[in-house]
Amino acid sequence: MPIVIDKDIPAFKILTGERIFVMDTDRAFSQEIRPIEIAILNLMPTKETTETQFMRLLSNSPLQVNITLVRTATYNPTHTEQEHLKRFYKSFAEIKTRKFDGMIITGAPVENMPFEQVAYWRELEEILDWTATNVTSTLFICWGAQAALHYFYGIKKHPLKEKCFGIFAHQRVFDGEQEPLMRGISDEFHMPHSRHTIIYAEDIKNVPDLKILAFSRRAGASIIKSRDNKRVFVTGHMEYDRDTLKKEYERDKAKGLDIKPPVNYFADKEMTKVKMNWSSTANLFYINWLNYYVYQVTPYKLD
């Protein structure tokens, strides 16, 4: 089944070229199917790239998924054309009366700042409160995960001496319970990370409402959930494309930053080839989230 997006958004042409089943809104209105409604609060500066990455992953389930892109009103991003934001994004004020089956809140390049000093923090607090009553399950990514863990549970982030940057091996954490979110994912899997801060696993373990599902010796707790399944936290970037870390590395080098090449990422000494070993895990994870944490349990009759 397809995802439903505006046919003029750049992701439509990209995903169609990849033979991914996308449907424009006009055609979707004629379908006698109750689609799953997913909102994406996109806090990344590379809006078009990020929205395409998440749309690609959400397109792989048998469900018809309607995507609503959301932006902050209290901060005006400068890396994306204003016409693109105006045409394809909605403010929180425009969606706050709606119910959503699921929501994704992305990372943001503000991790070195105290949460309360982020320009849109007050607005994000309102959105986080709203998810508790208007969204079946919310998926928080990287800084978005750190922000939500801080806001809901008082968990602190801690600066790293060196940037956590590369592809790291992770192990599933088993406690005797069946975990649908991790169904089909190997005991050891890989995930990209790109951040300057970390959440300590011990702080998570001290919160009875939270459960660690996967852990990395280098990157720390990587997949965490609330026990009611309404909140899922991913500290890495399973959604990243093959060349995303390469572009980040080249960007930082061009700025003159002291940055090392991403760990376990390049497949050759010349750093021209990339070993992509996380895509199957990403696809399984997002299919499981949509199916078990959203579609099968959503209480909303949106029609």
Which one is catalytic: 170, 190, 193, 237?
237
The number of CA neighbours under 13 Å toward the Cβ of 120 is: 21
99 is known to lie in a ligand binding site: no
142 is catalytic: yes
Distance CA 11, CA 48 (A): 7
Nearest in space to 124 (alpha carbons), one of 163, 80, 92: 92
Distance CA 239, CA 170 (A): 16
Q: Would you call 66 helix, strand, or coil by DSSP?
A: strand
Name 86's Cβ contacts closer than 8 Å, sequence gap at least 6. Answer: none
Which one is catalytic: 51, 142, 170, 193?
142
Distance CA 257, CA 102 (A): 37
194 is known to lie in a ligand binding site: yes
Q: Record the tokens describing residue 262, joined without a space.
A: 């991403």
Name 83's Cβ contacts closer than 8 Å, sequence gap at least 6. Answer: none
Q: Are 106 and 142 in contact (CB under 8 A)?
A: yes
Distance CA 86, CA 276 (A): 34
Alpha-carbon distances of 261 from 128, 198, 238, 245, 266, rounded to whole Å? 35, 19, 19, 9, 8
163 is known to lie in a ligand binding site: yes
Q: Binding site: what residues are annotated?
A: 163, 194, 251
> Which residues are catalytically annotated?
142, 237, 239
Q: Binding site for substrate: what residues are annotated?
A: 163, 194, 251
